[in-house]
A and B are shown apart, each in its own frame.
Chain A
Amino acid sequence: MANISTNIILVITVTSIATYLSRCLGVLSSEKIDENSKIFRLFDCIAYSTLAALISKVVIFPAGYLADVDVFLRLGVVFLCVGSFYLFNKNLVYPTVLSAIILTTLIRII
């Protein structure tokens, strides 16, 4: 048991360092970057596209619990929720709440 606990502490430490590294290097790099520069605009584009890439990867090739659901079911829920987002005048509460309810219900029915 002691071994497992030591391992978990090491795993948490390693995960935290790997995560803080990107945040910290980002702050370090941004000290010299002007908000009106081209390099700032380039990183702005990369930030948005990386987030989009991460989210679509999570939906199409998920890790964890979502992997047990059919990909068409996951995509269907996302499309329905995006539809409700535009339908309700870009209100974020509806798609957020609906997503969990629709998916849980569909899993039980199918």
Chain B
Amino acid sequence: MVSSGYFLKGFSSVRSIDSPAISLACSFVAIGALLKNIGFNLKESFFSTFFTYALPGQLVMAESFLIGSSLFNIFIAVWLVNARLFPMAVSMFPLLNSEKQPKWKYYLSCHFLAVSSWIIMKKDYRTIHEDYRIDFWMGIGTATWSIAILSTVFGFMISDYLSKDMMIGLAIVNPVYFFCMLLGSIKNIVIGTSVILGTVLGPVFYLISPEWCILYGGVSAGIVAFIVGELNG
């Protein structure tokens, strides 16, 4: 089963000074308030974060729901905006692989994959023995996921007290936090090229295709950065 020592170590890593807890809470408070405003009840808002737990996807869901998109269109729009989770999983789960661990842990805990938990794991995995990294990961994931769910419920309940200006203020926290965190994780020319080129190409491709811009921009920037890395040995 799950090693409680490593699980708790992961769980408590959200208390560190550079923890994503504040940013995560602000964003999901805004989501909770937004869901209430578009007609979700408390249970539905709770389950939205419980089962989806991906901020951009939930925003797209809310917007598509408001304009009355078909379920198929919602599926495609959400899949496109959350497709980043695929390369994130592929670039993290090999670090967690251990033959001593059962497969179900990987397929269950991949639900916790989000930028916040991914960045903590990528930063800290070397400090954990490889057989127990999945337990550590489940700890981080449970903590960040719980913060998101509780914040959604809180946001739903206080939505009447949040002015539009405050909602806008909350909405900028997440991109600022994650952009700083990405800048902070630049340790070599490869990651540096990935981040800077991705930042430029995402909006550039938006002008060509708003739906596909994240994928087009991300993949092309990533390939260029990879080539730069290979050429530099």
Contact = CB atoms under 8 A, between A and B. Distances in A.
Interface string B20-58: 001100100010001000011100100110011110111
A46 to B, nearest CB: 3
The DSSP consensus for interface residues of chain B is helix
B166 interface: yes
B95 A50 contact: no
Interface in B97-139: 97, 106-107, 110-111, 113, 115, 118
B88 A26 contact: yes
A97 interface: yes
Contact of A41 (B22, B113, B118, B226): B226
Contacts, number: 320
A64 B34 contact: yes
Contacts of B8: none
Interface residues of A, number: 79
A37 B181 CA distance: 26
B178 A55 contact: yes
Of the listed residues B76, B180, B197, the one surrounded by the most CB atoms of chain A closer than 10 A to its CB is B180
B144 interface: no
13 contacts: A12-B47, A15-B48, A26-B90, A43-B90, A45-B194, A50-B218, A52-B221, A53-B218, A61-B203, A64-B62, A92-B18, A97-B22, A99-B177
